[in-house]
Structure 1
Amino acid sequence: MAHSPLWARRPAAALALLAAVSTLSLTGCMSSKDTDIDALALASQTEPADVLYNQGLANLEGGRLGEAAKKFEAIDKQHPYSEYARKALIMRAFASYRSGDYDEAEGSAKRYLALYPGSEDAAYAQYIIGLSYYRQMPDITRDQTDTAKAVQAMQEVVDRYPNSEYAEDARTKIRVGSDQLAGKEMQVGRYYLERREYIAAINRFKSVVDVFPKTRHVEEALARLTEAYYAMGLTQEAQAAASVLGQNFPDSPWYKDSYALLQTQGLQPSAGRGGGAGSWFSNAARRLTGASEPVTTADTAPSAIESRPPRGA
């Protein structure tokens, strides 16, 4: 008896076999071309570096800082060895700073310095690092780590790029940051003084004179030294501290208070033995010029130079 074909006797099995064969054939075709397909997809997502850069600038001009940073980041990823990658990296630091993403701004600027230390925008990158810390300076009651980092970073701008257009603004911000650091020392010193922990207080007040001699806090620091030494019964040291204060700030209200304090025991400011040659007081007197540099509210406002992108980008 003649046998009928498989498809006639077992149509379901035949259809399943046909589907399996078709799938295997299709898979074989795709496996040989999947690399080409992925490459084409990647190429379709890649834009020319100059197009991305101009888009980033347009977003920056339009105030779309986040979008601008993304465009500059795309250049770094898609065209890492191009000249546009260098320019995009510093612009990304600027856009991140302007948007308040200070960690990203600092990271991009540090990376820029590591990759292009001798470029025309190296000074600006260092300046952005300083600005990123500067804009995070807390109020005087809190930890001043970011303030210290801001002063250090801005000092590097002055030391490494003294002729750059950013050096003068860096000096201003060093003065503001130093004044805040000195203010923190005074706050802690006054705390110790109120608790009658005189040695700890004296160390803080001396630190203000030694480390921050150009700040407005020096007058009070010397007056507080007079007060602390007087409370300890060290009248010669108290007289020497008041003498340094009088030599440098004769018209200061703090000097008048110190003078009045000494007068309660019939004493006067005097270098004497406490302020003899080689003493801390004699060294402080030589170091101080009597010209403090008070900080105004204008000093903490954003400057024109920090609001504009680098000229070389």
Structure 2
Amino acid sequence: MHATYNWPAAILAVMLFAGCAARKTTASKPETNESAEADKLLYERALNDLQHNRFELSRLSMETLINTYPDSEYLAKAKLAIADSYFKEGGTTGLTQAVATYQDFITFFPFLDEAAYAQMQIGMAHYRRMEKADRDRTEALEAEAAIQTFMQKYPHTELAPRAEQRLREVQEVLADGDYRIATFYYIRRIDKAAAPRLLDLVSRYPLYSQADRANWMLASIYERNEHNDVASTYYARLVKEYPLSPLAGAAKAKLVKFGAPVPQPDPTALARMQKEQEMPRERPGFLKRPGELLKSGPDVSAAARVGMPNLTPQTEDATDTLAPGAGLSVVAAGGASKGSGGTGAYVQTVSPGTSDPPAGSSRSAASTGPTAAPNDPSAGGQADPVGTTAGQSANGNADPPSQTSQGTTQGANQGESSSKKKKSKKQAQLQPQ
């Protein structure tokens, strides 16, 4: 007995089964793709909101991506985009949040290429909040530190040239603030306040637009305090490192007067100054940009365009060799000379590694002398008269160092004996009768 098969029905059943299976597979495939690309859709939506300045919506989408898909390939990009949204939003709150978010990104993803960008953005956030040179310098110091960190960690990235120029501009603002304060004290012959600021300025910011004048002022302070050997060091530095300065000729005359050697201009410094002069500079004028008076940011148009800025952090003490074989020389308060208003100064040579100067290593001198008057080249006038004598007080009489120190000691002894008399008298009154 032979079985009879219905071949057309069997073939039809197989085709129907295959069609159902294919339909099921096709129906389940979009669900899988939709689940896999949800993080990408969130990221693209957030970027679109960011481009249209919808900052809160952009951050909301990014945070949803981070919390919902912690293993997403867009995780690092989302964190960086949140920081970018704060930076683009601006304002005190926005820039503060941007700095914190960029720092978090560097902490979590220190080896990504975007870490260099995040570090640069930290510096730029502080850069945007900088005040003018004569105002609060907190943000300028933070910007300097952040950009210095960038230059030390990522010196060969494509952002390095931009960071280098921004650092020159930040240091121009910091140096200008110190220069203004030092000039205030220099004109008033308060050398003990002017000299430390000038010392720090000329050592930390050699690219400052007024660095040649700062060296001249510092040299004249030492000259009028009868330290011509130290003054010659700064006159020589002016001639060597700022050969195209209008003060270079007067500095050479000072060196000839002191019998000190006149150095040749440094070729690197000469090339740098020549290149600076060739670059066009556009300074904002009052009629061209009247809104500058209301602007809180500093004017950085005078900043250098050539030369490597200082990469040494502010926390590290700057050293300055004033003479071969000598340690750091600083100006400290000295005895008050007649007519000087108590602004005498003396130079202490401190050996490296010691906190106190050796006994008998300092000598006092009068503090008056050439100032930023019309005959002072640092004020834009002519050179100082050759016959100017340093060490004379305001009334023209020299104040010997020994008399100055003796007067100071006698005053201190008189004050001490007076306080002892008052104390004994008070104790006598308190004793029972």
TM-score, structure 2 as length reference: 0.49
* RMSD, matched Cα: 3.2
2:228 counterpart of 1:198 = no
Residue 158 and residue 239 in structure 1: after superposition, are their counterparts in 2 closer, same or farther (change >3 A)?
Answer: closer
Residues 297, 126 of structure 1: CA spacing in aligned structure 2 closer, same or farther, 3 A cutoff? farther
Aligned equivalent of 2:412: none
The percentage of aligned residue pairs carrying the same residue is 25
Residue pair 1:240, 1:269 contacting (<8 A) in 2 also? no
Equivalent position to 1:52, from 5, 21, 42: 42
* Matched residue, 1:268: 257
Pick from 152, 167, 170 the counterpart of residue 159 of structure 1: 152
Pairwise CA distance, 1:210: 1.1
Q: Which residue of 2 aligns with 1:87?
A: 77
Deviations 1:257-298, CA, capped at 9 Å, x for gaps = 6568x59xxx736546xx9xxxxxx9xx99x93545689569
CA 1:202–1:81 in 2, change beyond 3 Å: closer, same or farther? Answer: same
Q: Displacement of 1:153 after TM fit?
A: 1.3
Residue deviations 1:222-249 (CA, integer Å, cap 9, x gap): 1111232233343443343223212332
TM-score by length of 1: 0.66
2:221 aligned to which of 225, 228, 231? 228
Residue 213 (str. 1) matches residue 203 (str. 2): no
Write the letter of the residue equivalent to 1:139: K
Equivalent residue letter for 2:85: A
Contact 1:72/1:92, CA 8 A, preserved across alignment? yes
Q: Distance in 2 between matches of 1:121 and 1:160?
A: 13
Which residue type is aligned with residue 60 of structure 1?
L
**1:270 to 1:148, Cα distance in 2 relative to 1, 3 A:** farther
Q: Within 5 Å, give how 1:1-313 maps onto structure 2.
A: 48-100=38-90, 101-256=94-249, 268=257, 271=260, 289=269, 291=272
More helix per residue: 1
Q: Write the letter of the residue equivalent to 2:182.
A: G
Deviation at 1:102, TM superposition (A): 0.8
**What CA distance in whole angstroms lies between the structure 2 residues aligned with 1:142 and 1:228?**
26
CA contact (8 A) 2:143 2:170 kept: yes
Deviation for aligned residue 1:86? 1.3
Q: Is this contact kept in 2: 1:242–1:269, CA < 8 A?
A: no
Structure 1: how far apart are the matches of 2:186 and 2:237? 20
Change (3 A) 1:269 1:220: farther
Shift of 1:142: 1.4
Cα distance in 2 for partners of 1:192, 1:129 equals 35
Question: Quick one: distance in 2 between partners of 1:269 and 1:51?
Answer: 76
Give the secondary-structure state (helix, strand or coil) at the position aligned to 2:269: coil
Gap runs ≥5 in structure 2: 1-36, 284-298, 302-433
Q: What is the SS of the residue equivalent to 2:44?
A: helix
**Cα 1:120–1:242 shift into 2, 3 Å:** closer
CA contact (8 A) 1:53 1:75 kept: yes
Whole-Å Cα distance in 1 between the matches of residues 176 and 258 of structure 2?
A: 25
Deviations, residues 134-158 of structure 1 (Å, cap 9, x unaligned): 1111100112222122122112222
Gaps (5+ residues) in structure 1? 1-46, 276-281, 302-313
How far apart, in 2, do the equivalents of 1:188 and 1:227 lie? 17
Question: Displacement, 1:186?
Answer: 0.9
Mapped to 2, the partners of 1:270 and 1:134 lie a distance apart of 46
* Count of equivalent residues: 240
Distance (whole Å) between structure 2 residues aligned to residue 197 and residue 73 of structure 1: 57
Runs of 4+ displaced beyond 6 Å: none
| CA 176–123 in structure 1, closer or farther in 2 if over 3 Å, else same | same
Deviates more, 1:86-95 or 1:60-69: 60-69
91-100 vs 236-245, which moves further? 236-245
Structure 2 CA distance, aligned partners of 1:228 and 1:69?
57
Q: Assess if the C-alpha contact under 8 Å between 2:236 and 2:252 holds in 1.
A: no
Are the structure 2 counterparts of residues 239 and 160 from structure 1 closer, same or farther at C-alpha, using a change threshold of 3 Å? closer
Q: Displacement of 1:72 after TM fit?
A: 2.2
- Distance, in Å, in 2 between the alignment partners of 1:124 and 1:54 is 21
Per-residue deviation at 1:216? 1.9
Gap change, CA 1:240 and 1:122, over 3 Å in 2: closer
Q: Is contact 1:130-1:154 (8 Å) kept?
A: yes
Deviates more, 1:95-104 or 1:193-202: 193-202
Work out whether residues 230 and 238 of structure 1, in 8 Å CA contact, stay in contact via their aligned partners in 2. yes
Is the 8 Å Cα contact of residues 119 and 150 (structure 2) preserved in structure 1?
yes
CA–CA separation in structure 2 for the residues paired with 1:52 and 1:226: 64
Asked if structure 1 preserves the Cα contact closer than 8 Å seen for 2:223 and 2:231, the reply is yes
Distance in 2 (alpha carbons) for counterparts of 1:92 and 1:77: 13
Cα distance change of structure 1 residues 220 and 300 upon mapping to structure 2, 3 Å threshold: closer
